[in-house]
Every structure is written in C-alpha cells, then in structure tokens.
Structure 1
Amino acid sequence: MNMKNIDNYIDKDGKIKIWPSKHESKYQILLYLVENFEYNHFYTEKEVNMIIKDHHTFGDFFLLRRELIEKKLLKRTDDGAKYWRVDSN
C-alpha cells in the first residue's frame, strides 16, 4: 500500500488519528486497519471493537467497524455473533 496517501491520518504510534474526508483516503485507511485482523479467524463483536479501539485515537470504533463491513473488508453473521476478514482472492 502507498503509505504516503495516509501519512497525514496516522500518528507516530501507527494509530489512525483522523477520519479522512476523501473517499480514496478513507478506503486506504480501512485497508490499513484491516491488516490487524487475521484471515481464517472468527472474532466476536467485542474483539473487533477492541482491535479497532487499539488502532485509532479519535474514539469512533462504531464508524470504523461499520465502514469495514460496508466496504466488504470484514463480514459478519446476520446476528453479529461472528466477524471475519474477507479473503482478498
């Protein structure tokens, strides 16, 4: 990934500090964030929330979780009990 596109949105610790306004930058941030989730692993909603909380500083894990799902980078069961990273193939 071209990190230059997201440098302005990441702090010195590698945490997302700002949610971008531009669509392409938002998608790049989501690609950066989803790297913290393993393939072939199921997560609970609580685990997903904790991973997202650990990797951003602006306090809106709901937004980031919803965006990961809407952009089909994470999937979840209808009841929200299981989440998983989508295979890029």
Structure 2
Amino acid sequence: MKENDELRMFKSLIPLKLIALPKKKELRQITLQRIAECFTASREYTEQEVNEILMGVYEDYVYLRRELVEHQYLQRTADGRRYWK
C-alpha cells in the first residue's frame, strides 16, 4: 500500500481532516490508525472529549467513534463514559 493511497483519504493532515472512511479493509485500518494518533495512550477521555476531537476530523464523528472502538483503536467502559487508547 502506497502512502499516497492513505493520504488521499484526508483533506489535510494538520489539522487532520478526513474526506471519507474507505471501504477497503486495509485502507480503512490504516486510516483508523492515523485517526487514533489524535489520542494519547496514557490518558482517559470522556465521551464528550472524544466527540470534540473527532468532530474536528470528520462530520460523522459518532460513526467514527464507533469504528475506532469496534476495530479496537479505542476502548471504552460498558456505560460509554470513559475511553482510552
């Protein structure tokens, strides 16, 4: 996979702005991994903090949050109040 394939999914990298989440599995994983880099590994986040970060990255931040959790780039408590990398 070329870096250009990954980069074409983003309108910009600084700040990170996603155009669309790719359908191809490999490219989707790379894209989610890049988005997960917005989060610090040693920190817990509230749902609101996660939403605020993801709102800046992609319009459908709820879908993006769900994808990050489903693909295990973020973990969360059962009640969804706390998130961590």
Give the alignment's TM-score, normalised by structure 2: 0.87
Moved over 2 A (4+): 2-5
Aligned residue identity for 2:76:
R
Residues 1-89 of structure 1 mapped to structure 2, 5 A cutoff: 3-12=3-12, 13=14, 14-56=16-58, 59-85=59-85
Structure 1 runs not aligned, ≥5 long: none
Give the share of equivalent positions with the same residue, in percent. 34
Instruction: Report the Cα offset of residue 6 of structure 1.
Output: 1.2
In structure 2, C-alpha distance between the alignment counterparts of 1:83 and 1:55, rounded to whole Å: 17
Number of corresponding residues: 82
TM-score, with length taken from structure 1: 0.84
- State the alpha-carbon separation in 2 of the partners of residues 71 and 5 from structure 1: 20
Q: Please tell me the residue identity of whatever aligns with 1:31.
A: Q
- Three-state SS of the structure 1 residue aligned to 2:52 is helix
Q: Greater strand share, 1 or 2?
A: 2
- How far apart, in 2, do the equivalents of 1:3 and 1:38 lie? 23
Cα RMSD, aligned residues only: 1.4
1:41 counterpart letter in structure 2: R
